[in-house]
Structure 1
Amino acid sequence: MSRQLFKSTAIVSILTLLSRLLGFVRDMLIARLFGVDVATDAFFVAFKIPNFLRRLFTEGAFAHAFIPVLAEYQAQDDPAAVRQFLGKAAGLWAFVLLALTIVGVLAAPILIILLAPGFDWQGTRHELAVQMLQITFPYLLFIALVAFAGGILNAYQQFVVPALTPALLNISMIAAAIWLAPLLDEPVTALAWGVLMAGIAQLLLQTPALLKLGLLPRLQLDFHDAGVKRLFKRIVPAIFSVSVTQINLLLDTLIASFLTVGSVSWLYYSDRLVEFPQGLLGLALGTVILPQLAKHHAQDDPSAFSNSLDWGLRLVLLTGIPATIGLILLAEPMLATMFQYDEFTHTDVQLAGQSLKAYALGLLGFLMIKVLVPGFTARQDMSTPLRYGIIAMLVSLAGNVLALPFAHAGLALATSLGAIINALLLLIKLHQKRVYQPARGWRLFLLRVLLASTAMSASLYYLVDVEAWQDWHTSERILQLLKFIAIGMVIYATALLITGLRLRHLSVPHDKINNFLSS
């Protein structure tokens, strides 16, 4: 079981890495070509909504409602019933999305007021943000249909195409920044057109894979189908449960619009770097584990269900702790290497570094949520993660108020606190319900990871000279950053080996993992 999980997770992680690297190229271009000013603040606010929707739908939130219902139909072993359900669900989904898209385009001025009330009414930032939101909002229609198609493919253990799809957004925006922007009176609007074109391309990419499976939905509009009713009853709580962190990030943007010009951009760039480990591990684990858990639940196999959760949590800690350390100790070097060119200054690096460190403190919480929420939604329990998500959001909101003296970095810290509390509540509840029973050997496993992390932290703290990055050119910055990342990884891996942990044990049957870790 864990061997297949590890293989699937690795595939999704590698393809996600490609998308994230392209995302960094995209952001480096934006920082270099457009800088940090009124226009970029306007774009990042307008982009928040389609980017938020992309995270909601393509990064697993929709799947939490969809895959468990689809698993019930799969368990019936009736392909005709599966195709009928998919056609009716897709038809109603497309109808709802089209209506929301029309409303969103018409209501763009109001949405910008709600999302960034600090933008002056009828001011340049407000007008630009409205214009770009009207261009990008139809992305909702395409990306939500992409999520529907990706959910089908993931349920049938087809992970490659859905994991590759996000790269098209970055490719489209890079092309728009390079070739379209110089042709427009307001160059930054080219990025908005790039987002719209990406949505169309992402949807088209799903079609061949669905045709190969014989599962390309034939749209039907049926408001009374029992399976479709169950699906749509669960969509809103499922999306909220998984995406409360993204909602908090959206609220960060809202509050940041009242702060110093550039605050929205500093938060954006720091969030982008935290997205990297979230995508490589959190997204990959959530994508792979959910269908597995739904299958175990449908087969009434609680032992396998618990083992899958245990495997996911071990992998989160094994990779998440060193990733957190790396983000904190290399915050300014990473920002300087990626973004400090032309209009993006050393001051921008320092200020974005503050919020990056604050977001990094919540990384383990962000990652654990991706593993723990499926423990509820796979059993079609939407109410518990929804309740805890609301608690976490209220904690973050209260933290935002208390942290205002720390400006944009305080907003990031409050979001991290909310994620940690959310993860702890989910973990405690799963254990109380005996849905998750920790396997043997956790104390020794944690000791090994913490010793290795301490060795890595001490080495990077001693070796890295943050101020030196200002004296280096682009190639030197890249080489130095890669060098210190490699040093950190080698020290961490070596320390794990010395303490007795072997990575191959993550891909063997779970009972052998237990025996090894308890030795």
Structure 2
Amino acid sequence: MFRNILSVGGLTLLSRLAGFVRDVVMAAVLGAGPVADAFLVAFRLPNHFRAIFAEGAFNAAFVPTYARLKEQGGIATARAFADEILTAMALVHGVLLAGALAFTPQFVGLLAPGLADDPERFALAITLTRITFPYLALISVATLISGALNASDRFAMAAASPILLNVCMVGTLLSAAAFPTAGHAAAWGVLISGVGQVILVGWDAERTGIGLRFGRPRLDPGTRQFLKALGPAIIGSAGVQIALFADTIIATFLPTGALSALYYADRINQLPIGVVGIAIGTVLLPEMSRRLAGGDDAGAAHAQARSIELAVLLALPFVVAALLIPDLTMRALFARGAFTRGDAAEAAATLQAYGIGLIAFVVVRAFIAPFHARGDTATPMKAALLAVAINVALKFALMGTLAQVGLALATALGGWINLGLLIWFARRRGLPVGDGTLPGNLVRLAVCGLVLAGVLLGAGPLAAKLTAGFAFAREEVIFVLVVGAGGLAYALSVWAMLGRQFLLGLARRRAADALKATRQAD
């Protein structure tokens, strides 16, 4: 399992690094003005629906069902089920796309009403949304194929496919002179990437013998089980997206640049969530589904505990950096071209607020997986909806005094509420939350985080003094020195606190998984 987590995490990290390059190019080309705001609205709308209907809800219902059918009836049964779902998905997205294209002005007006006060920005957002929205249908098909690959223990191509989004957007942004505006260039890059992702994962599925075809939808037991799980999963995912919709809606009423500050801060915030949290959730769900289907409850709990520890281990440096050096981070990464130091300061304050909830967002998938692996999507839905209701209320309460920073802070607090509710629901149902070694290891990791914090606070002034004479790239050099010193101190403290008990334990776990796979092959 951990080998797969590292594989998915590594490829996701590559995708996030490519995404950083994309954001640097986008910041330099688009800046934080009206064209950037219009594109970000157009980009967020299909992404919100993708998170509701595709990656979030769909994977929660599809992967356990596919894995169970494959375990019980073989690959042919699982593939027939996937073919039926593909056809149904194509029909649903065809209707959704037709409606979105026909009613785009009303759609944008509903979800970004603040843009209506600026007719030029509103009209551009409508145009760009019509370009980006078909990306939803394409990425949904890619998600279906990726789910089948993941349930078959093939993670690489599915994890690598998002890299195409960044590559395509960088390519079109660098060719912005050929488009009416830079916003048009970015929007076409999104659409082109959707086509590329379908081709990539489809090719991988075909060459491994699990390629999908259109099949007549039937309401057989597998499909009924999938639909039963999908309904609550959609509602739960919709709840999370309501909070993000609220960010978009409220931010359009804030001064120009608020949407951009939210976007660039969230891009840094999403790095550990994507690299660590999503990778662990992607691998842990089929792992726990297989173990529970085989009656290995203790093995499932052990897998969850080790995943939580790994998530905290890898996410802590991001949390400490977001809380202690957000200004340095945003200036070093984005303050160039049309993106000013003032823009970086606004994004830094927003990043600091996001950092408060980062641990909760990284580990939450490890707490959702035990429910989804048991076919229970209703309980995570209840937790998500309760957390979102509090989250949205906090957004309206905080926006007046803190602007977009208040929106980010409400999101962070909502993440902790969601995690707390999941733990409470699990204990009430008698489900194990990790194992006996988890609490002690988390305390040790917290001590390592404190060591890292001390080093970052001390290294900043020292690095500034050492680079006092630099006339070029001074912020970037300071950032590298501070992060390097902090990373070294964190690695040494982890080895000192957890080296033999934790790191070698992960190595033994990987070896045991490899041995088990070898025996099964024999």
Q: TM-score range by the shorter chain?
A: over 0.9
Identity %: 31
Structure 2 counterpart of 1:505: 505
- Asked whether 1:108 is paired with 2:104, we answer yes
Could you tell which deviates more after superposition, 42-51 or 275-284? 42-51
Structure 2 counterpart of 1:322: 317
Equivalent of 1:486 in 484, 487, 491: 484
1:410-435 residue CA offsets vs partner (Å, 9 max, x unmatched): 11000111110101111222233232
SS in 2 for 1:261: coil
Contact 2:367–2:423 (Cα < 8 Å) also in 1: yes
What does 1:146-157 align with in structure 2 at a 5 Å threshold? 146-157=142-153
- Asked whether 1:386 is paired with 2:384, we answer no
- Alpha-carbon distance in 2 for matches of 1:392, 1:269: 24
Please report how far the alpha carbon of residue 63 of structure 1 lies from its aligned counterpart in structure 2 after TM superposition. 1.1
Equivalent of 1:461 in 435, 439, 457: 457
- Alpha-carbon distance in 1 for matches of 2:436, 2:187: 51
- Asked whether 1:194 is paired with 2:192, we answer no
Equivalent of 2:162 in 162, 166, 181: 166
Which amino acid in 2 is paired with 1:199? Answer: G
Please report how far the alpha carbon of residue 241 of structure 1 lies from its aligned counterpart in structure 2 after TM superposition. 3.1
Which amino acid in 1 is paired with 2:330? Answer: L
- Alpha-carbon distance in 1 for matches of 2:440, 2:278: 27
Please report how far the alpha carbon of residue 256 of structure 1 lies from its aligned counterpart in structure 2 after TM superposition. 0.8
Please report how far the alpha carbon of residue 60 of structure 1 lies from its aligned counterpart in structure 2 after TM superposition. 4.8
Structure 2 counterpart of 1:31: 27
Structure 1 counterpart of 2:121: 125
Please report how far the alpha carbon of residue 188 of structure 1 lies from its aligned counterpart in structure 2 after TM superposition. 1.6
What does 1:50-129 align with in structure 2 at a 5 Å threshold? 50-56=46-52, 59-120=55-116, 123-129=119-125
- Tell me the TM-score normalised to structure 2 length: 0.92
Structure 2 counterpart of 1:237: 232
- Alpha-carbon distance in 2 for matches of 1:30, 1:471: 30
1:195-241 residue CA offsets vs partner (Å, 9 max, x unmatched): 11110010000122111222212202325333223323432422443
Equivalent of 1:335 in 330, 333, 338: 330
Equivalent of 2:261 in 266, 284, 287: 266
Could you tell which deviates more after superposition, 346-355 or 321-330? 321-330
- Alpha-carbon distance in 2 for matches of 1:473, 1:296: 58
Please report how far the alpha carbon of residue 11 of structure 1 lies from its aligned counterpart in structure 2 after TM superposition. 0.5
Structure 2 counterpart of 1:515: none
Equivalent of 1:286 in 281, 287, 312: 281
Which amino acid in 2 is paired with 1:398? Answer: A
Taking a change above 3 Å as real, the CA distance of residues 459 and 58 of structure 1, as seen in their structure-2 partners, is: farther
Equivalent of 1:141 in 137, 141, 144: 137
Contact 1:19–1:167 (Cα < 8 Å) also in 2: yes
Please report how far the alpha carbon of residue 38 of structure 1 lies from its aligned counterpart in structure 2 after TM superposition. 0.9
Equivalent of 2:246 in 241, 244, 251: 251
5+ residue gaps, structure 2: 513-522
Equivalent of 1:425 in 421, 437, 441: 421
Taking a change above 3 Å as real, the CA distance of residues 34 and 296 of structure 1, as seen in their structure-2 partners, is: same
Equivalent of 2:36 in 17, 40, 45: 40
SS in 1 for 2:114: coil
Structure 2 counterpart of 1:449: 445
Which amino acid in 2 is paired with 1:198? Answer: S
Please report how far the alpha carbon of residue 24 of structure 1 lies from its aligned counterpart in structure 2 after TM superposition. 0.7
- Asked whether 1:376 is paired with 2:374, we answer no
SS in 2 for 1:170: helix
Taking a change above 3 Å as real, the CA distance of residues 410 and 82 of structure 1, as seen in their structure-2 partners, is: same
Which amino acid in 1 is paired with 2:505? Answer: H
Q: How many residues align?
A: 507
Which amino acid in 2 is paired with 1:150? Answer: S
- Alpha-carbon distance in 1 for matches of 2:285, 2:277: 12
Contact 2:449–2:490 (Cα < 8 Å) also in 1: yes
Equivalent of 1:312 in 307, 310, 320: 307
SS in 2 for 1:284: helix
- Alpha-carbon distance in 2 for matches of 1:327, 1:122: 34
- Alpha-carbon distance in 1 for matches of 2:212, 2:355: 41
Which amino acid in 1 is paired with 2:380? Answer: P
5+ residue gaps, structure 1: 513-519
What does 1:360-375 align with in structure 2 at a 5 Å threshold? 360-375=355-370
Contact 1:448–1:501 (Cα < 8 Å) also in 2: no
SS in 2 for 1:381: coil
1:357-390 residue CA offsets vs partner (Å, 9 max, x unmatched): 0011101111121211111111111111111110
Taking a change above 3 Å as real, the CA distance of residues 491 and 166 of structure 1, as seen in their structure-2 partners, is: same
Structure 2 counterpart of 1:411: 407
Which amino acid in 2 is paired with 1:350? Answer: A
Please report how far the alpha carbon of residue 184 of structure 1 lies from its aligned counterpart in structure 2 after TM superposition. 2.1
- Tell me the TM-score normalised to structure 1 length: 0.92
Which amino acid in 1 is paired with 2:33? Answer: D
